[in-house]
Structure 1
Amino acid sequence: MKIDNTYKPIGTGAALKPNTAQSTPATSKQDAVSLSSFAGSLQSDQDYPMDMARIQEIKQAIAEGRFTINPEAIANSLIESARDLVSKSNARQA
């Protein structure tokens, strides 16, 4: 793909500047968001299942240059995930 660099802006920079009086809202409104203490505890106390031995094995393989990536397996997993998302979306719409 070739990028065409023949773009020429039209008008002057002054003509393209927005009118600041019209772009600012007439009233100032502040929104506040807060999480409950329960929501905060869910995020901080969550222990993810991890196989630390497997993680160390993968780190060692990467460090030694033995770690190989299987692009076909990755592609198949991505396609399967996309199928799951589409089927869930279709089920909700029905």
Structure 2
Amino acid sequence: MKIDNSVKTTGTTSSESSGKARAGREAAAPAPAASAGTTVQLSSLSGNLAKIEATIGQTPEVDSARVSEIKQAISEGRFSVDSEKVADGLIESVRQMLAAQPRSA
């Protein structure tokens, strides 16, 4: 089987050409002016979402106290790993990944 490359390039990338096209549209059609009485109302859900995002943004990604506690336990020889719990967690995560994949026909 022979594959023919029928796509011809013009020397510009798609981002360059889309940028030129966008610039042409912007120059040809100016944005409509907003009237003095225009108002926008957002639902309370959007306000709640903004609060949640702010809270998440302030939450540290790493629990430093827990890391220090684990380091201390390791240095004292008190830290032990439950291999069965780790294996069960790995198996469950693989199950979830497989369940999330679309089935191919």
TM range (shorter): 0.3 to 0.5
Greater length-normalized contact order (CA 8 Å, ≥ 6 residues apart): 1
Larger Rg: 2
What TM-score, normalized to structure 2?
Answer: 0.40
Q: TM-score, normalization: structure 1?
A: 0.45
